[in-house]
Chain A
Amino acid sequence: MYGKRASQLLKDQACCENGQFTPFNSDLFDQVISECNEHSLQLQSLIRKIEEQNLDMQTTRNEDHFGAVIHHLSLVRNKRCLMAYMYNRAEIIQGLRWKVGPVLPQEMQEKLNYSEEEYFKNHSAAIEAYMSELDLDLTVDMVPPKDPYIRVRVLDDIGEVCLDDHSISLAKHSLHFLRRTDAEPFISQGLMEEFLE
Chain B
Amino acid sequence: MADVEFRAVRKAFGGHTVISGLDLTVQDGELLVLLGPSGCGKSTLLRLLAGLEQATDGEIRIGGRPVDALGPRARNIAMVFQNYALYPHLTVRGNLEFPLRMRGMKRAERERRTLAAARALGLEPLLGKRPAELSGGQRQRVAMGRAIVREPDVFLMDEPLSNLDARLRVQIRAEIGALQRRLGVTTLYVTHDQVEAMTLGDRVAVMRDGVIQQLGRPAELYERPANLFVAGFLGSPPMNLLEPAFERRDGERMARLGGTWIRSAAGIPERARYAGIRPECLGIGASGSSDDARADRLAIQGSVESVEVLGHERIVYLRAPGSMIELSDGPGPWRSAEGLLAARLPASPALEREESVTLTAPAAELHWFDEDGNAIASGAG
**A and B interact:** no
B positions within 8 Å CB-CB of A: none
A positions within 8 Å CB-CB of B: none
